Amino acid sequence: MIIEQIYTGCLAQGAYYIESNGEVAIIDPLREVQVYIDKAAKNNAKIKYIFETHFHADFVSGHVTLAEKTDAKIVFGPSAKTNFDSIIAEDNQVFKVGDISITLLHTPGHTMESSCYLLKDKNGTNHAIFSGDTLFLGDVGRPDLAQKGDLTQEDLAGYLFDSLRNKVMPLADNVIVYPAHGAGSACGKNLSKETVGTIGEQKKTNYALRADMSKEEFIKEVTDGLLPPPAYFPLNVKLNKEGYKDIDDVIENSTKPLSVKEFEIVANGTNAIILDVRHQTEFIKGFIPQSIFIGVDGGFAPWVGALIKDIKQPILLVCESGREEEVITRLSRVGFDNVIGYLEGSFNAWKKADKEIDTLESISADTLEEKIKLDVPVFDVRKPGEFASDHIKVAESTPLDFLNSHISEFPKKGNFYVHCAGGYRSVIAASILKARGFHNVIDVAGGYAAIRKTNIERTAAVCPSTLK
């Protein structure tokens, strides 16, 4: 028996490859599926099932493409409805994979079709549970994403409580837990950085699995402090329910080199966003005016989804030469299939053509320490929880996720300063503000990590896990 977790850090997402005696099951595959096909072929095995824990919401799964390429059967939990062939399994339905079996456990709550998959070894012993967004390490799935009709987030939280108590917590302590997400996912609020655990560990450490917890306490605690989900979540759900283009076609259609002249014509003649994905240090030194920076080497795809919102938005890329296909692939993981071309020769070609450029002023934390004595405005674009745990006393909280809601708070005259934790999100925020006409924005390089090393007056630190 082989169990391999294929973890994609930039999405905080875990897919799983399971093989036994020449047969393979894939759980929650990424949209680009060749890696699973190659792995099975290398082992002379056949992919038999594609198990989906739920309609995901925060990325486009590869189930449809993988089924088309392998003839494997797609399996969803009870109540799921799809526009493609799939097995809508019953609770406790058993699927044989080589010498092992995988049992679907219907665990509604995060969404109504949410299901876990319990793997029994060749001796029939419970070995591992693939817990989807029902159980994370340190948290459980948020219950507010699938509210429909009269079904409230409190109703869904009640279902989740019952699912955990009746289906998951009775499992033996040594059963391994393989969740769908880790820290960084917006599908929970307190996810661990670990990606593999056990039922016993979670019973001891996960606040939502406290033995003496009432249903009312559970509902209150899991619904407390939830932030609005990213706008692209429901659009990804729609793709996962209805199907989507093969990623190979997306890559072929999107990987179009454009000369400087062609790029400029397309940019001026369409409503395309110019998305610059180079490193922030390169972006700061020069970029095409009106560009939005979201660096591919940061939390790229989720930030694209959170900030661009419309997955059909035409996009023109500026990226490091040779990384175009990678960037297009990573955009497609969250449903952004409408890249209409990239700047051939990257930003250097634009500069050599003597086209207009813009720059972003960036200062050190030490310089900010001097500036802040002059009572300058400072804006913190970290998440609300990060701000609540520790921040510059005079700073305003303007989280990047909700920057549009704070636009009116930024000064139109006189310089102001933005920082995040390490210098990535602040450059994203500054690029958006510049595109909106705020050319008086100044980035603080190194973010709060660098600010902590100065004498800038800060609030007393509070452990994030103690914050509601």
Q: How many CA atoms lie within 13 A of 241 on its CB side?
A: 12
Instruction: Say if residue 179 is in the same domain as residue 37.
Output: yes
Q: Report the alpha-carbon distance of residue 452 to residue 457 in Å, rounded.
A: 9
Position 468 scores a pLDDT of: 46
Answer yes or no: is 269 within a domain.
yes
Tens of pLDDT, residues 115-132: 999 999 999 999 999 999
The answer to the question of residue 316 being in a domain is yes
DSSP 234-273: HHHHHHHHH----HHHHHHHH--EE-HHHHHHHHHHS--E
- Kindly report the CA angle at 340 between 337 and 345, in degrees rounded to 5? 120
In which residue are the tokens 């020069």 written? 286
CATH number at residue 448: 3.40.250.10
In a domain, 153, yes or no: yes
Shared-domain flag, residues 366 and 431: yes
CATH code at position 174: 3.60.15.10
Residue 428 in tokens: 């994203």
Same structural domain, 311 and 378 = no
CA dist 330 to 124, 224, 427, Å? 39, 32, 20
Give the tokens for residue 200. 């016993």
Please tell me the distance from the alpha carbon of residue 326 to that of residue 260, in angstroms, as a whole number: 21
Give domain status of residue 88, yes or no: yes
Is the pLDDT at 204 greater than 90? The verdict is yes
CB 28 within 8 Å of CB 53: yes
**190 vs 72, residue with greater confidence:** 72
The dihedral built from the CA positions of residue 306, 311, 316 and 321, taken in this order, carries a sign that is positive
Report the percentage of the chain scoring pLDDT > 70.
99
- For 123-182, the DSSP string reads TS-EEEEEEETTB-SS-B--SSTT--TT--HHHHHHHHHHHIIIIITTS-TT-EEEESB-
In a shared domain, residues 42 and 174: yes
| 201 within a domain of the structure (yes/no) | yes
**Same structural domain for residues 253 and 321?**
yes
The strand pair at 13-20 and 115-120 is best described as unpaired
233 sits in which H/E element: helix 233-242
Does residue 196 lie in a domain region?
yes
Q: Could you report the per-residue pLDDT of 244-299, keeping only the tens digit for each?
A: 999 999 999 999 999 999 999 999 999 999 999 999 999 999 999 999 999 999 88
| 53 contacts 133 by C-beta, under 8 angstroms | yes
Q: What is the pLDDT of residue 242?
A: 93
Across 192-221, average pLDDT: 95
6 and 48 housed in the same domain: yes
In the numeric block, the tokens 């996962």 are attached to: 240
pLDDT reported for residue 171:
98
Pick the closest to residue 427 from 406, 451, 409, 403 (CA basis). 403
- To 5 degrees, how large is the angle CA 181–CA 186–CA 190? 75
138 burial via Cβ count (<10 Å: 0-12, 13-18, 19+)? buried
Asked if residue 397 has pLDDT above 80, the reply is yes
Query: Whole-prediction pTM value?
Result: 0.87
Distances in Å between the Cα of 357 and the Cα atoms of 130, 248, 287, 317 are 49, 34, 6, 16
One domain, residues 60 and 150: yes
Q: At 375, is the secondary structure helix, strand, or coil?
A: coil
Identity of residue 231: A
- Mean pLDDT for the chain? 94
Is residue 59 predicted with pLDDT exceeding 70? yes
Please check whether residue 301 is in contact with residue 59, taking contact to mean a CB–CB distance below 8 angstroms. yes
Max Cα separation, the chain? 72
The total number of structural domains that make up the chain = 3
Q: Domain boundary residue among 310, 327, 353?
A: 353
DSSP β-ladder status, 100-106 and 94-97: antiparallel
Are the C-beta atoms of 32 and 18 separated by less than 8 Å?
no
pLDDT above 90: percentage of residues in the chain:
86
- The amino acid sitting at 135 is L
Q: Are residues 59 and 205 in the same domain?
A: yes
Last-in-domain residue among 306, 335, 353: 353
Q: Is residue 255 part of a domain?
A: yes
pLDDT tens sequence across 134-184: 999 999 999 988 777 788 999 999 999 999 999 999 999 999 999 999 887
Q: Which one, of 56, 109, 118, 58, lies nearest residue 89 by Cα?
A: 118
> What's the pLDDT at 57?
73
Same domain, 27 and 127: yes
Residue 73 host element (H or E): strand 73-76
Query: With 80 as the cut, is the pLDDT of residue 187 above it?
Result: no
- Is the pLDDT assigned to residue 465 strictly greater than 90? no
Over range 323-343, report the average pLDDT: 96
Whole domain around residue 341: which residue ranges? Answer: 245-353
**Residue length of the chain:** 468
Among 54-63, 230-239, 358-367, 381-390, top mean pLDDT goes to 358-367
In a shared domain, residues 68 and 191: yes
Q: Helices (DSSP H) in 286-424: which residue ranges?
A: 300-308, 324-332, 346-352, 365-371, 384-389
Give SS3 for 74. strand
Considering the domain architecture, whether residues 261 and 298 belong to the same structural domain is answered as: yes
Domain boundary among 200, 215, 234: 234
Residue 87 near residue 48 (C-beta atoms within 8 A): no
Residue 233: name the closest of 146, 116, 136, 337 by CA.
Answer: 146
Establish if 239 belongs to a structural domain.
no
Q: How confident is the model at residue 190 (pLDDT cuts 50, 70, 90)?
A: confident
Q: What is the mean pLDDT of residues 5-27?
A: 94
Residues 321, 183, single domain; the answer is no
